[in-house]
Every structure is written in C-alpha cells, then in structure tokens.
Amino acid sequence: MKSYDFDFEMQVRDYELDTQGVVNNSVYQNYLEHARHQFLKELGLNFNELHTNGVDAVVHKIELEYKRPLMGDDIFTVRSVIRRQGHVRYIFEQDIYRSQDNELMLKGIVTTVFMNDGRPIRPPAEVVDALELYRNKT
C-alpha cells in the first residue's frame, strides 16, 4: 500500500447527496480541500493567516478519478501525499478510502501554487520549513 503523509477522517452528510443517493461529484473537491487545510494546520500553518500575510495557496489544476460512490453516512478517510514540483508547485496526491472496508473510492491529484498579488511565488520559507520538520517527525 502507498505511504501517505497525512490522513483525515470525515463522514458524508445527507445534504451532500444527489438524486441517486450518492455523494455529488462536486462535493469530493470540498473533501480534498478540507483535508489540505487540515494538513496545513497539522504543519502549524493556517490558510487564512497565510492570506492575511499576502500569500495565497491556490489550486492550479485538479484531476479526479472516481472509483466507487460514497453514500449517506459513510465514514471515509482522505489520505494525502505532498511533493514539491519545480519552484512554485506542490502536488497533492489525495485518495479517499471508505473506512468500513478500506475500499478506494476516489484518486485525486491536485496541483497547487503559492501566489502574491496574482503572481506565482516560491513557497514561503515557513511552509517549506514546516513541511520538512513534519516529515522528519513522522
């Protein structure tokens, strides 16, 4: 099994279901984003504080591969691997597993960049340092 940097457990809420009784495809992006924000908190960083300091972490590209649908009340885990690509990008490989049977439900690749005043910038030292410290702890 793939090694992950961060796991975050969640539960499907009834208002996330579509007419067919499964999680609406657009909701999965919310799950992945929430897990990324929680990962930043685990690193000791805060998404909103970064913005206040003039640094925005933004999504550049998302690739999703739906394997099986999540249903109402399912408990699931978003498992994330993060890697740096080039000077300004971080790639999050984020997979969603249903907790009851560890079934892979979704594979996602999210490319993010850091921006300042609408221009890509190198990741701030505090982000790079926090990630390095986190990896050395685990």
**What CATH number has the domain bearing residue 68?**
3.10.129.10
The pLDDT tens digits for 5-52 are: 999 999 999 999 999 999 999 999 999 999 999 999 998 998 888 889
Q: Does some domain include residue 138?
A: no
- Contact between residue 59 and residue 109 where contact means Cβ atoms under 8 Å apart: no
pLDDT for 22: 96
Q: What is the C-alpha separation between 16 and 73, in angstroms, rounded?
A: 10
Annotation marks residue 74 as catalytic? no
The domain of 35 spans 6-133
Nearest-5° angle of CA 46, CA 14, CA 59?
35
Q: Does some domain include residue 90?
A: yes
Give DSSP secondary structure letters for the chain. ----SEEEEEE--GGGB-TTSBB-TTHHHHHHHHHHHHHHHHTT--HHHHHHTT-EEEEEEEEEEE-S--BTT-EEEEEEEEEEETTTEEEEEEEEEETTTTEEEEEEEEEEEEEETTEEEPPPHHHHHHHHHHHHH-
Q: Does some domain include residue 53?
A: yes
Q: What is the mean pLDDT of the chain?
A: 93
Q: Does some domain include residue 31?
A: yes
pLDDT for 132: 83
Count: domains in the chain: 1
Q: Among residues 7, 18, 73, 129, which one is catalytic? A: 18
Q: Does some domain include residue 10?
A: yes
Question: Residue 99 pLDDT more than 80?
Answer: yes
Q: Does some domain include residue 27?
A: yes
Q: Does some domain include residue 73?
A: yes
Question: Residue 65 pLDDT more than 90?
Answer: yes
pLDDT for 102: 97
Q: Does some domain include residue 1?
A: no
Average pLDDT of the segment spanning 123-130: 88
pLDDT for 136: 77
